[in-house]
Amino acid sequence: MADCLFCNIVEGKIPARRVYEDERTVAFEDINPQAPTHVLIIPRKHIAGLKEAGEPDAELLGYCQLVAAKIARQRGIEQGYRTVYNVGPGAGQSVFHLHLHLIGGRDLRWPPG
Ligand code: AMP
Ligand code: ZN
């Protein structure tokens, strides 16, 4: 989608600090990190968010989780990290291209705010 920030990052039209990419996903550093590791894993395919995903996207959603686990392993943060989808404005979703937050590298409290 032409007016989607993260589609533009996928296409290289807007710069991002990429940390991983493959044929299905791109991962990059969050511009406003909430922890020493704060990476966003996104599908190259535009999906607005988790509630807009359908059953044909099931494998892609699971794959994003595995990419997050791979990055966490590479960064040595497996002692404790979190993968999060913020779904809808009430949960703080501000970019409407599906993105999985990988947050770690510090102690994480529960429940989140
Ligand atoms: P959410 O609030 O779940 O929609 O998450 C959107 C995330 O995207 C926030 O954590 C922002 O800091 C991050 N973000 C917004 N613009 C950019 C950008 N240009 N590059 C990297 N991260 C961004
Ligand atoms: Zn998009």
Ligand 1 nearest-atom number relative to CA 95: 4
- Determine whether the shortest distance from the Cβ of 92 to ligand 1 is under 6 A: yes
**Cα-only R_g, the chain:** 13
Please provide residue 82's backbone torsions phi and psi, each rounded to the nearest 5 degrees: -135, 140
Q: What is the pLDDT of residues 78-105, one digit of tens each?
A: 999 999 999 999 999 999 999 999 999 9
Establish whether residue 95 lines the binding site of ligand 1, counting it when its CB lies within 6 angstroms of any ligand atom.
yes
Q: Per-residue confidence at 113, pLDDT binned at 50, 70, 90? A: confident
Distance between Cα 89 and ligand 2 center (Å): 17
pLDDT score at 34: 98
Domains and CATH numbers, the chain: 5-104 (3.30.428.10)
Q: Is 99 one of the catalytic residues?
A: yes
Q: Answer whether 0.85 is exceeded by the pTM.
A: yes
Listed in sequence order, the residues at least 6 apart from 50 whose beta carbon sits closer than 8 Å to its beta carbon are: 61, 85, 87, 98
Quick one: which atom of ligand 1 is closest to the CA of 38? 10
CA-CA distance, 54 to 93, in Å (whole number)? 19
Q: How far apart are CA 50 and CA 85, in angstroms?
A: 7
Cα 110 from chain centroid (whole Å): 20
Q: Answer yes or no: is the C-beta of 94 below 6 A from any ligand 1 atom.
A: yes
Cis peptide before 111 (omega within 30 of 0): yes
93 lines ligand 1 (CB under 6 A): yes
Closest ligand 1 atom to Cα of 96: 4
3-state SS assignment for residue 23: coil
